[in-house]
Amino acid sequence: MPLPKFEYLSPKSLEEALQLLADRGEGTHLLAGGTDLLVKMAHGHLKPRAVIALKQIDALGGIRFDPGKGLFIGATALLDEVASHPDVKAHFPSVAYAAQQTANVQIRNMGTLAGNLCNAAPSADNAPVLTAMGAEAVIAGPKGERRVALDRFFKGPGQTVIEPGEILTAVHVPVIPSGFGTSYQHVSPRGKVDIAAVCVGAMVGMDGATCKEARIVLGAVAPVPMRAEKTEALVRGKALTPEILEKAGRQASEEARPISDMRAGAEYRKRMTAVLTGRALKQAAEAAAN
Amino acid sequence: MVLLHIIVNGRGYDLQVGADPHQVDPAHTLAYTLRETLGLTGTKIGCNHGGCGACTVLMDGVPVLSCLTLTVECDGREIVTIEGLSPPEGNDLDPLQRAFMDHGAFQCGFCTPGIILTAKHLLDRNPSPDAETVEEALSGNHCRCISHYQVVQAVLAAAGTEADRDED
Amino acid sequence: MEPFQMIGKDVPRNDARAKATGTAAYADDLKLPGMLHGRILRSPLAHARILHIDTSRAEALTGVRCVITGQDIPQVKYGNWRLFPDTQDEYALAVDKVRFIGDEVAAVAAVDKDTAQEALELIDVEYEELPGLFDVESAMAGDAVPIHDHCRNNTSVNRKIAYGDVEKGFAESDYVREDTFRVHAVSHAYLEPCSALAQLDLDGRITLWTSTQVPYIVQCLLASTLEMRENDVRVIKPYVGGGFGGKMELRTWEFCAAFMAKRTGRPVKFTLNREEEFLAGRRRHPMTIHSKVGFKKDGALVAKDLKITLDGGAYNAMGPTATFLCGNFGAMLYRYPNYAFYGRHVYTNKPPASAMRGFGAPQSLYASEIQMNMAAEALGIDPVDIRLKNAQKSGDKIPDVATISSCGFTESIQEVARMSDWKKKRASLGPGRGIGIGCYSFISGGVFNWFNTQYPFSAAEVRAFSDGTVHLLTMASDIGQGSDTALKQILAEELGLRMEDIRITSADTAMTPQADLGSWGSRVTLMAGNAVVDAARKIKERLFGALSARYNLNVIYEMECREGRVQPKGRPDRGMSFGEAVAMVQKASRGEPLVARGSYTPRDKGLVTPAFGFGAQVAEVEVDRQTGLVEVKKMWTAHDCGTVINPKGVEGQLAGSIQMGLGYALSEQFVMEEGRTLNTNFLDYKMPTALDMPPGEVVHVETYEPEGPMGAKECGEGLASPTAPAISDAVYHATGYRCKDLPITPEKILEGMNAGGKKKS
Ligand SMILES: Cc1cc2nc3c(=O)[nH]c(=O)nc-3n(C[C@H](O)[C@H](O)[C@H](O)COP(=O)(O)OP(=O)(O)OC[C@H]3O[C@@H](n4cnc5c(N)ncnc54)[C@H](O)[C@@H]3O)c2cc1C
Ligand code: FES
Ligand code: FES
């Protein structure tokens, strides 16, 4: 279908963008790569009055790595840039991997990591591992900048803490402490390239064979990517033996609150939560050891 | 009057933004502008929602979906469509086009422009890919007719690395 | 037999350059001055009476040129089964009722697409909703509302086949089993959405460019629905982006484009969007298949009783053919001495199912192939051996259908078993790994004349020129399968010419000879190929006459066209160039050009098909026993399509079939809720991608089909059948889960394994 008509705005600076956002008010949408926004418009689900493109704002671009402060992924950094960035690959392999696993070549050349988060699909590939790693959204608004950890960022399908008038400017990923490892696991029952039916991100801190710390985030099994806190508690202080991993999996699947939809049934999602949680913990523990 | 400057297949176009028939409306996708305004119908629309890859073009050398790209976002960009890969007459086809012809790497051909352009970028980045790399690169381009066997062979052939796949 | 010059060669496709350079023009690429853009208003309800339609607001919108509803058009019903007017159940736009979500209610033509789209929203339709019938059981229930008034029980077609005595057969069997299978609907998902452009000429005649597999059928039905004479309608098929059975009927937008072009005097184009294609598009028939089979202890088949109910959706479309063919295919592949079939085609309030690659065979053969494996297991016989024991052979007679002529089925089974190392793998693959087999047979075009054409089934005209070139004209439709290339190859072979010596004009009903039934049922190579051979032979007769006169040849000489020359066999010195021979013929008839017409209509070939293709496929899979994910590691195929005319073309057909079979087995399905198709985009309708395609290995089993041109027969559709049963059987081998209701999903596999699917050690 043809796209509905709208006013197109392309500010050059963040200030200008915030101003336009305030001026145009309701019905104004931000455009990053457009791979979610334009699809919704093409299907007639969304008819914005105005669209503010972010790409011309230099300050929102790029990926910066600082060994002390961690990683800053700008709001217009493409999924492909994240997936292929040498520093991301070296220091945040699961972040690169999740970006690499998102969609296909063309979409990764167009879509942004920030857009993936702001779109707030429960299945968003990049949300679980970033959330598990304690990443935070840097949000600019009329009242200045605020930072929100990703585990408090998502409010529901398509909803985040970003208020009207605000713009996410970057995603900040803290440095992975030594002794910690991460993993991203996902399953798509209908083929190798597909939106995930279940996805799991994990970060664990190991002390020898013992798990000191664990953060486990489940995707596509609840309205928002969710922390599996009871599972985290279950593994904390334990050796990650096959039995514990299996228990953890079972616990995670109890915490999951999936629905049945086109991609998978709720029962299958629960089972996969168990399988992927086990796999994620195992892989993260291995990564921690290296 | 807002002007857009877009280079398509090496030729610069200055397009006016506006709602008149000859102008580019902000709601126009690049696919629409290429096909309807510039008459470059080699770019195909299989879905208009990002799902099939038929509308793939190269933007600054990188494959993107022209059905999910607003034309107004292309100011200053360089676009290459299938028509721009080689002049339609004459014999100087791109090696990929040649390989697709030699390998019969299409039936209906509707997916072909998008596939060739995606493959072009792959070979630019990685001149000697293996079959799996080619498959991965083409996973955003649907083909219902021959689904990639001969396509993968053709891409490998164009890269000069036609591998064991031939015998498979 | 003499070796071929052109047949069996990988000559480049006729359209290769056009397609590789993006210059091939498909219907939506065409533009005419003053052209209007059309859009269709579709029903939001599955079943409702139309009480009132108010188009005034739409008509008042600036830029709108024409709005029509069912009340504005000639109320002529149409359908492909013209031989039985009762089966013709569609109006181009709904007249009294809407019968599925997406049914066409009104159409708008406007100066641009946006305006047309906007106008749709201004059409007010008042409906009285009726109960929706969404499955065959409720549609057939005694108190069900009829979906079509003329069809009280909602069963629009019945078909029975019976021979031998099944009851006696079961009584004599050592082993009898009964199973019910359910197979689902899938989409053709051709990449090019349907599109049609109509133009009115100054004499009031219509030209329609449309993305179709059947220009002749569209011409005839368009003429009748427009109440015009057939010859006043010209249908041209531009490049077509795939069809697979989904573009083989007259469709609403074709009618509306033509009707509105007449009304407005301006060209009108309709192009569907993908959402419409998925929401309302044709699809493969879902079927409920109840099958009872009896065997002797040694695995010999004794009897089969097959009952199939087809969920036809709201209109017949090509359902009657599918009903016939699924019954015929139930008795194919193996020798069933006693056979009974009862098929019913049932209306439901869903988008109409129609022809789709395999035309009833993929469904029917899924059930027979799986059931064969279940029986083999119970009888303690290897699946390959039980097939070899019962395989049909050349000369076998299928009562009321045909006598099988060429048949490489046994060789195909042996070949796949050998290639795949079947015996060893079946015995020793590790846990989570499995290997399975599926087989097929398919028709090379249909014989039964349901369209009631008054012309030959296929025709060709060859014009020969003194410059050594020829022009081939045929109504056969190349929709991507490469028939233009194959027909040129056949002609080149017959006349001893090169591909570049032949110009081809195809699929234009005003310019190419009457007629050709279109591209479906794997008919084109055999039927249009035979028509080309027929025309070529007539040309040769004339050329040979001229040669004979020129050299005063003894009448006993055999002559040939070869490498651009016409000559007595073995006496090239007494020959002349093709062009010289043409010039002589032309001189001898005082300038009259050398033209010949050829045709083909099957005669004395029963009611089904002149020739059958056969084949077998083996799949090897690996199943992740935790996630239930299936990875197809490899497919081996051996098939008999008679003489291979263009190897790359055949391989392409095969690859495409595997992709569709893979999707049918594992990932593709329509998600429906109360008659509404929920997955209307490529993200949710999941086709296999390049990464999902398994490596494959193929052997062409050589046979020579006496009825086919140069010995060729079908290869385009049969292979749509074996992939799903082969994968399904491999999944069973790997996990113990036996799928009786497609598709095979990881969820079903895990459940099946839980429910005590036997663990393979
Ligand atoms: C064919 C296809 C396949 C896909 N496959 C996947 C997949 O496998 N996995 C997956 O997770 N996703 C997938 N997606 C979804 C989509 O591509 C991703 O979510 C992508 O990362 C979105 O990024 P974008 O830049 O295109 O977002 P946009 O569409 O530009 O924006 C998305 C939303 O976020 C808002 N937004 C964007 N930037 C900001 C900002 N800086 N501040 C505040 N709000 C903002 C927009 O207003 C919009 O609502 C797929 C999409 C398509 C079309
Ligand atoms: S047309 Fe753009 S992806 Fe299908
Ligand atoms: S060749 Fe037809 S879709 Fe690829």
ipTM of the complex: 0.96
**Among A20, A26, A30, A36, residue to substitute to test ligand 1 (most atoms within 8 Å of Cβ):** A36
Question: Which atom of ligand 1 is nearest the CA belonging to A30?
Answer: 47
Strands (E), chain B: 3-8, 11-16, 56-59, 62-65, 78-80
Q: Tell me the CATH number for domain B2-84.
A: 3.10.20.30
Query: What's the fold here for domain A60-173?
Result: 3.30.465
Query: Using an 8 Å Cβ cutoff, are C211 and C242 in contact?
Result: no
Q: Mean pLDDT for each consecutive 10-residue tract of chain C (761 residues)?
A: 86 95 97 98 98 98 98 98 97 97 98 96 98 98 95 96 97 98 98 98 96 98 98 98 98 98 98 98 98 98 98 98 96 97 98 96 98 98 98 93 93 98 96 97 96 98 98 97 97 98 98 96 96 98 97 94 96 96 97 98 93 97 97 97 94 94 97 96 96 95 96 93 98 97 97 70 38
B145 lines ligand 3 (CB under 6 A): yes
**Among A81, A105, A116, residue to substitute to test ligand 1 (most atoms within 8 Å of Cβ):** A116
Query: Is the minimum CB–CB distance between B43 and chain C shorter than 8 Å?
Result: yes
**CATH class of residue range A7-53:** alpha beta
Q: Which pLDDT score, from 0 to 100, does residue B19 have?
A: 85
Q: Which of A125, A209, A138 is nearest to A173 (CA)?
A: A138
Q: Which residues of B fall within a CB distance of 8 Å from A39?
A: 49-50, 68
Q: How far apart are CA A212 and CA A233, in angstroms?
A: 10
Q: DSSP 3-state assignment of B56?
A: strand
Q: Which of A251, A250, A270, A252 is nearest to A260 (CA)?
A: A270
Question: Which atom of ligand 1 is nearest the CA belonging to A169?
Answer: 41
Q: Which pLDDT score, from 0 to 100, does residue C1 have?
A: 55
- With cut-offs at 50, 70 and 90, classify the pLDDT of residue B164: very low
Spans of all domains in chain B = 2-84, 95-163
B144 lines ligand 3 (CB under 6 A): yes
Q: What superfamily would CATH give domain B95-163?
A: [2Fe-2S]-binding domain (1.10.150.120)
At C620, phi and psi to the nearest 5? -115, 130
> Hey, are the CB atoms on C656 and B100 less than 8 Å from each other?
no
Q: How far apart are CA C618 and CA C636, in angstroms?
A: 5
- Ligand 1 centroid–CA A34 distance in Å is 6
Average of per-residue pLDDT across A90-108: 98
Average of per-residue pLDDT across B107-131: 97
Is the link from the previous residue into B159 a cis peptide, with omega within 30 of 0? no
pLDDT in tens, C608-624: 999 999 999 999 999 99
Looking at domain A180-289, does it have CATH number 3.20.20.70?
A: no
Is the link from the previous residue into C743 a cis peptide, with omega within 30 of 0? yes
CA C314 → CA C137, C280, C319, C348, distances in Å?
A: 15, 11, 11, 5
Chain C, 244 to 273: residues with Cβ < 8 Å from chain B are 244, 273
Q: Which pLDDT score, from 0 to 100, does residue B20 have?
A: 84
B110 lines ligand 3 (CB under 6 A): yes
Query: Using an 8 Å Cβ cutoff, are C194 and C251 in contact?
Result: yes
Q: Which domains does chain C have, with CATH numbers?
A: 16-22+457-600 (3.30.365.10), 31-130+191-242+247-280 (3.90.1170.50), 287-448+606-754 (3.30.365.10)
Q: Which pLDDT score, from 0 to 100, does residue B166 have?
A: 43
What type of residue is C125? V
Tell me: pLDDT of A236 over 50: yes
Burial class (CB in 10 A: 0-12, 13-18, 19+), C78: buried
Q: Which pLDDT score, from 0 to 100, does residue A192 have?
A: 87
Angle between helices C524-551 and C483-495 (to 10 degrees): 20
